[in-house]
Amino acid sequence: MKRRTQIVLLVVALLVAAGVAMLFRPAPVPVQTVQVQRGPLQEIVEEEGKTRMHDHFVVAATVTGNLRRVDLHAGDRVRAGQTLAWIDPAPIDPRQGAVLQARLQAARAAQQQADALAGRAKADAAQAEKDLMRGRELHQNGVISNEALDKAMTLDEAARKQLQAALSGAEAAAYQVEEAKAALLVHQNGNSNLPTAIVSPVDGNVLRLIEQSERVVGPGTPIIEIGYSPRLEIVSDFLTRDAVRIRPGMPVLITDWGGDTPIPARVRMIEPGGFTKISALGVEEQRVNVICDFTGDSHGMEDGYHVETRVIVWEGKDVLLVPSSAVFRSSGDWAVFVVRDGRAHKTIVQIGHRGEVNWEALAGLQPGDHVIAHPSADVDDGVRVQESPSR
């Protein structure tokens, strides 16, 4: 009886000890988990930008005189050769005649330069067209990839637009020569009292009236700014550390422009020179302009409209995705907490490309693993957790 009593007391003591241990055992930490899975990923750099017309022309006075009131308004459509304003010239002395002669020579030199640039652009466009035709043949034969063909198409499109811009510049230079000739002819004929017409160098829209009211102006005084509407582009200043990852031809999404659907665009060029800009926090930043072209409709936007420019610097179709909120630094490495058998296990992972929400996991994880999103300070290696799937 004594031995049996001892056994019963021992069993009771063990049960009491187990109950006390269960009573004072830490409760599982509630966590939200996300399942690791494969899917598409885009790495994007984003900045604010604005639209602008690629070709801006500032029409200036060619002679000294009284500018008559300009009847045009911002947004008006003008045609090449259309009279924009009239100037009643003041009497011209011989010194001013020499100035007009020099201006004519300068205009002719500018025309020669513009014609040379147009010729070069024409040759580049012809070569780009040949390269595209050759690339299409090689792509049909399976020699080159889709990416190489897309690059050839982008270069061909860029070359054609550069040719269009060069031809517009040559046309504008020709009109400037005609204006200089007209001003000099007025002086040489002694008809300084005849009004001088200021004409538009290109087809376009009036962007800004610099001088609208009647007043006395001198040669070179800006009067009207004209923009060439079909050549609308987007300019965004990116941090130089982001701009080094951007290449011509990369796809772009234009957002926050006023519509619900992003507008597709493509990077045309990264300007070669950077500049210093003061941020809203008063920090000096080195930035560089990235120029993008619409690949389709600009949806009614005009010069100076605000947009958000999202450049897709990398894109993958089948990537192992881990939420960025689950990744943290641990002794210089990237790590996550993986939930197995109700406990959190700290796991070192290798991170590749980074998207806005998800990152690419190159090593350390497998599809189907459950990782803790937003791990709190209560979560540590080996801690019991109570998981609930993150929505």
Domain with CATH 2.40.30.170 in the chain: 43-51+231-316
Backbone φ, ψ for residue 197 (5° rounding): -85, 135
Q: What pLDDT score does 281 carry?
A: 85
CB 198 within 8 A of CB 223: yes
Q: Domain 28-41+317-389 falls in which CATH fold?
A: 2.40.420
Domain with CATH 2.40.420.20 in the chain: 28-41+317-389
Three-class DSSP category at 326 = helix
CA dihedral 358, 359, 360, 364 (to 10 degrees): -110
Q: Convert the pLDDT of each residue in 125-136 to its tens digit.
A: 888 888 888 888
- Calculate mean pLDDT across residues 183-204: 73
Residue 187 pLDDT greater than 70, yes or no: no
CB 295 within 8 A of CB 307: no
Mean residue pLDDT of the chain comes to 86
CATH 2.40.30.170 fits 43-51+231-316, yes or no: yes
Residue 63: both structure tokens together = 């002679």
Alpha carbons 43 and 242: distance in angstroms, whole number: 12
In this structure, of 30-34, 235-239, 279-283, the range with the lowest mean pLDDT score is 279-283
Q: What pLDDT score does 21 carry?
A: 55
Q: How many CB atoms lie within 10 A of CB 40?
A: 12
Displacement of CA 81 from its chain's centroid (Å): 35
Most confident of 109-113, 275-279, 385-389: 275-279
In this structure, of 192-196, 264-268, 352-356, the range with the lowest mean pLDDT score is 192-196
Residues 152-176 as b/e (b if ≥16 CB within 10 A, e otherwise) read bbbbbbbbebbbbbbbbbbbbbbbb
pTM for the whole structure: 0.60
Residue 161 pLDDT greater than 80, yes or no: yes
Domain with CATH 2.40.50.100 in the chain: 55-227
Residue 187 burial by Cβ neighbours in a 10 Å radius (0-12, 13-18, 19+): buried
Q: Convert the pLDDT of each residue in 280-296 to its tens digit.
A: 888 999 999 999 999 98
Q: What pLDDT score does 194 carry?
A: 75
Q: What pLDDT score does 89 carry?
A: 81
* CATH class, 55-227 region: mainly beta
